[in-house]
Amino acid sequence: MQFQVETKKKMEILDITEQLKRILPEQGEGALLVHIPHTTAAVTINEGADPDVGEDLVRHLERLAQGKYLHREGNGPAHLQASLIGPSVLVPFKGGKLELGTWQRIFFCEFDGPRTRRVQFRLLAGLENDEQ
């Protein structure tokens, strides 16, 4: 299962928590696996209350990735940034709600946009939901 996101900048952090909440079952518990099938984008969990947190992340990752790259496509920094942040997160859910901390949100991270990107997800059911 998947949905698309449209990014508008070279580097951008997009809050995808609401899209992900919609796919949760109302009953039961388990874990939501979110996976980004791209080599220059990523997913992370961080503070969503202050948008400056995401902006700071972008700015510092930009600075961190400066330097020379062998990769001829020219987007070496974006590959490094994607690996630093990582391609997936696993979040527990229960009773239709993600068990995120008060300030936590799930963010799609674009490092080589603007592009149309895919966000893949799987609901991994808990033991309580297993039919035995």
Q: What angle do CA 74, 75, 78 make, to 5 degrees?
A: 165
Q: What angle do CA 35, 104, 118 make, to 5 degrees?
A: 25
Q: Which one of 18-26, 67-75, 91-99, 114-122 is the stretch in contact with Zn ion (CB under 5 A)?
A: 67-75
The residue count for binding Zn ion (CB under 5 A) is 2
Examine residue 75 and tell whether it contacts Zn ion (CB under 5 A): yes
Residue closer to Zn ion (CB basis): 96 or 114: 114
Residue facing Zn ion at closest CB distance:
73
- For residue 57, the minimal CB distance to Zn ion (Å) is 21
Among 6, 52, 55, 73, binds Zn ion (CB under 5 A): 73
Contact code string over 24-63 relative to Zn ion, x by CB under 5 A? ----------------------------------------
- For residue 126, the minimal CB distance to Zn ion (Å) is 38
**Amino acid residing at 68:** K
Residue closer to Zn ion (CB basis): 23 or 64: 64
The Cα–Cα gap between 61 and 67 comes to 12
> Which chain residues interact with Zn ion by CB under 5 A?
73, 75
